Amino acid sequence: MLFNSFEFLVFFPIVVALYFAIPHRFRWILLLVASYYFYMCWNYKFIVLIVISTVVDYVSGILLHRSENRRVRKLLLLASLTTNLGLLFFFKYFDFFGDTINALFDKFNIFYNVPAYDFLLPVGISFYTFQTLSYTIDIYKRKQTPEYHFGRFALFVSFFPQLVAGPIERSVNLLPQFRQKFEFDYERIKYGILLMGWGFFKKIVIADRLAEYVNVVYNNPVDFAGLPNIIATFFFSFQIYCDFSGYSDIAIGAAIIMGFRLMTNFRRPYFAQNIREFWQRWHISLSTWFRDYVYISLGGNRVVKWRWYYNLFITFVVSGLWHGANWTFICWGAIHGFYLVFAIWTFKFRESMNNRLRINKYPGLFKLSQILVTFSLVYISWIFFRANSVGEALIILKNHFIFDGEQTVNLFRNRADLLISFISIAVLITIDFLEEGFNLTARLNKLPKVYKWALLAFFTAIIFVFAVWNETDFLYFQF
């Protein structure tokens, strides 16, 4: 079931109405049934995978907590890791690694083919796998106690607002909330609706409209050069931001309506002044997961310098692989890993140059230049993220520097859609700027009710007039 579908617009109000109508002790049952139904609307067969992960990690968590034997505890953790990552590998990566091995064999004239199964990728498997893995790892590290109520733990794994595309929640945050009783609260529900509305605006007004142009260029890379390529990549930079942060806003807003607080997943990432800050603002639930469970486990920065660089780089390469079974995603992760390592390596030199040039004497200009440089670096990486193959990514990158006057003229013949696209991006940047610098949300909350409802009505009208009504999947469903 998609958030941007008629089915969800019927499903969600019914769930909320029942949630506040029934006694608190039965609410977990309602939410668990609703979550399983929500997932099974996509493909009922794959609910089995969620159940397997749930049972394995529920049992592993309890046994890990009870055991004092170091060897037994390692085996229990290994059982959880093997089951969850094994399912993830089989459905998401088996064919990718098989194709890679086959290509390698062909280079050496070895006549053997790893079979390809071409399985349908279970939606959300990367998200709920990481969410439930963090639970068992935290118990193994004695940072978390187990949840003995199987129903509530099953709900933690499958909570429908964030089940298929995050935020990737931690058990220490979400599990205790399932025991709390939340009353109907007008102000909280109003805020949740506004946040969902903002998410829908980003998804169906901005992202889906930009996607129409992006798909044409990126699916036909040899047919476009120069300005069309630049605009397509610029559009994709905002398409993926609006698509994914839009989903997060809808998920967080839906949870807020019922009383639950999910973690913030995006904080205006295109206002970041360096790549490190970008990753403190972009897909926060995933970047902190990799920081806590991969980067720190490798040794973090508590090692010699070359190993520190290695830990950073490998973490981002693995992060790229998490996003998809394609070398384009690995390249994208490697690019960001290189950016961070290079930034650390050149830090003293850049600080010295800034002091010599006295750029800091103009803080506003200096900040703007940093934002633009950071966006440009992220822009380059998005080429590899969106391209269908590494070869096509290189073609698109090369064609950025080729000017085709005829294509440019043809591009601007469809002025209405282009104009709406650029205006929608300008609106997004303006609102993010006001939120970044002037705390727009807090100021809007101080407005009289009549102005708030008028603003909601205005944005609702904008959504209905300018939305692209085609019920497209959210981009991160493929991950």
The two tokens of residue 149 are 């109520």
Determine the Cα–Cα distance for residues 250 and 244; give it in Å rounded to an integer: 10
How many C-beta atoms surround the C-beta of residue 284 within 10 A?
20
| Rounded Cα distance, 97 and 99, in Å | 5
How far apart, in whole angstroms, are the C-alpha atoms of residue 52 and residue 258?
27
Radius of gyration of the chain (CA): 24
DSSP letters, 292-311, are: IIIITTTTTTSS-HHHHHHH
Task: Single out the residue of 229, 325, 245, 258 nearest to residue 285, CA to CA.
Answer: 245
From 161, 158, 160, select the one nearest 129 (Cα to Cα). 158
CB 196 within 8 Å of CB 161: no
Neighbours of 290 (CB within 10 A): 20
Tell which residue, 320, 293, 333, 315, has the closest CA to residue 132: 293
- C-alpha distances in Å from residue 328, one per residue of 95, 343, 361, 386: 15, 23, 41, 8
- The Cα-based distances of 217 to 211, 355, 399, 422, 471 in angstroms read 10, 43, 11, 17, 21
Cβ–Cβ contacts within 10 Å for residue 432, how many? Answer: 19
CA angle 121, 124, 129 (to 5 degrees): 100
CB neighbours of residue 184 within 10 Å = 13
- Residue 242 contacts residue 202 (beta carbons within 8 Å): yes
Tokens read off for 348:
């003293």
Task: Please state the length of the chain.
Answer: 479
Of 65, 149, 283, 323, catalytic? 323
CA 335/CA 212 separation, integer angstroms: 27
Extract the tokens encoding 463. 């959504």
**Residue 323 annotated in active site:** yes
Q: Give catalytic residues, as residue numbers.
A: 323
